[in-house]
Homo-oligomer: A and B are copies of this chain.
Amino acid sequence: METPTSRPVTLDDVARAAGVSRATASRVLGGYGFASVDARERVGAAADRLGYVPNITARALVRGAGVRLVVAVSGTDATVLDDPYVDRLVSAAARVCAPHGVGVALEWLPLDAPAGLRRLGDDRSVCGVLLVNTTAPVLDAVPAGLRGRVVSIGTGSPAVPSFDVDNAGGADAVLRHLHAGGRRRIAMVTGPRWLSCAERSVTAYQELMRAAGLPVRLVTGDFTAARGGRAALEALTRWPDTDAIYAASDATALGVIAALRGRGIRVPHDVAVGGFDDIPYAAVSSPALTTATHPVARIATAAATAVLDGRPVPPVTAFPSTLVARESA
Contacts and interface: CB of A to CB of B under 8 A. Distances in A.
Interface stretch (A20-28, A97-105, A172-180, A204-212): A97-105
A270 to B, nearest CB: 14
Interface in A237-267: 251, 254-255, 257-258, 261
DSSP majority for the A interface? helix
A119 to B, nearest CB: 6
B88 A101 contact: no
Given A51-B118, A55-B123, A286-B287, 15 more contacts: A1-B118, A1-B122, A8-B122, A57-B57, A57-B67, A67-B67, A67-B68, A68-B102, A69-B103, A84-B88, A98-B105, A103-B103, A254-B285, A257-B286, A258-B283
Contacts of A297: 82
**Nearest 3 CB-CB pairings of A with B:** A103-B103, A56-B125, A94-B106
A258 B289 CA distance: 12
A91 B104 CA distance: 9
A144 interface: yes
A257 B281 CA distance: 12
B61 A58 contact: yes
A284 interface: yes
14 contacts: A6-B145, A52-B122, A55-B123, A84-B84, A87-B90, A90-B104, A95-B106, A102-B103, A104-B104, A251-B280, A258-B285, A281-B281, A281-B285, A286-B287
A86 interface: yes
**Size bracket, chain A contacts:** 35 or more
Nearest to A106: B94
Interface in A127-167: 144-145
A92 to B, nearest CB: 8
Given A58-B61, A95-B81, A53 B123 contact: yes
